[in-house]
Amino acid sequence: MSLHAFYEQYFPFWKALKEEDKNYLCENTAEEHFDKEQPVHDNMGCTGLFIVRSGRLRLYMLSEDGKEITLYRLSPGDICMLSASCVLQSVTFDVYVDAEEESNCYHIRASAFSDISNRYLEVKNYALETAVSRFSDVMWIMQQIVFMSMDKRLAIFLLEETQTNGTDSVNMTHETIARHLGTAREVITRMLKHLAADGVIEVTRKGIRITDKKKLRSIAY
């Protein structure tokens, strides 16, 4: 599929653009490949927009002492709008973006999308609506941090991972889970030991296998 054809299907505003502006966006789009854990956006300047074609990107915040917490992930078909701060001048959000796994993306240069956004209300509305829609994910994470205990947050995380992967296993290290939840590896290790002792999970060399999903749900919800 050509880039023109892809954008026609992908962007709801595409038909509103003049032909020269469609060409302008396509000319300012590059295909980029990211290895696993490679930085995509480091919060330094306005990187541009990324549309995930394959793989998965992870957006996270970084504290002054280097602690990370995952805000949400982007799967194939999702667009990373928060990496284009110059397009979203009224929405400022400090985030970092890494490739959680080997990923391929379309990268639209920020200056080009900003130019089009300033000329078409349809494009500006799309950018704002896309960014705002992601704030529900961010608010869900903030709600967990403020109001939920760590054992509940861990249970929710494990359930969401198994749902995403379509298996009963979470193939992550304790350190990786800790980064997602914004805590220390030792905390995750201790809690996983408690869950294993209660027969809820089994900790293996490859990761974690859920053995009693019903009990894990009772902890989460």
Tens of each residue's pLDDT in the chain, 221 residues: 899 999 999 999 999 999 999 999 999 999 999 999 999 987 656 788 999 999 999 999 888 887 889 999 999 999 988 766 666 665 556 788 999 999 999 999 988 998 999 999 999 999 888 888 888 888 888 889 889 999 999 999 999 999 988 999 999 999 999 999 999 999 999 999 999 999 999 998 889 999 999 999 999 98
- Strand 48-54 and strand 103-109: the pairing is antiparallel
Provide the residue ranges of all domains of the chain, joining segments of one domain with +.
3-146, 148-220
- Fold category of 3-146 in CATH: Jelly Rolls (2.60.120)
Q: Is the pTM of this model over 0.75?
A: yes
Instruction: Give exposure, 61-94, as e/b (b: 16+ Cβ within 10 Å).
Output: beeeeeebbbbbbbeeebbbbbbbbebbeeeebe
Structure tokens at 78: 């999702």
Closest CA to 18 of 119, 107, 104, 100: 119
The class level of CATH for 148-220 reads mainly alpha
Question: Residue 38, exposed/middle/buried by CB under 10 A (0-12, 13-18, 19+)?
Answer: exposed
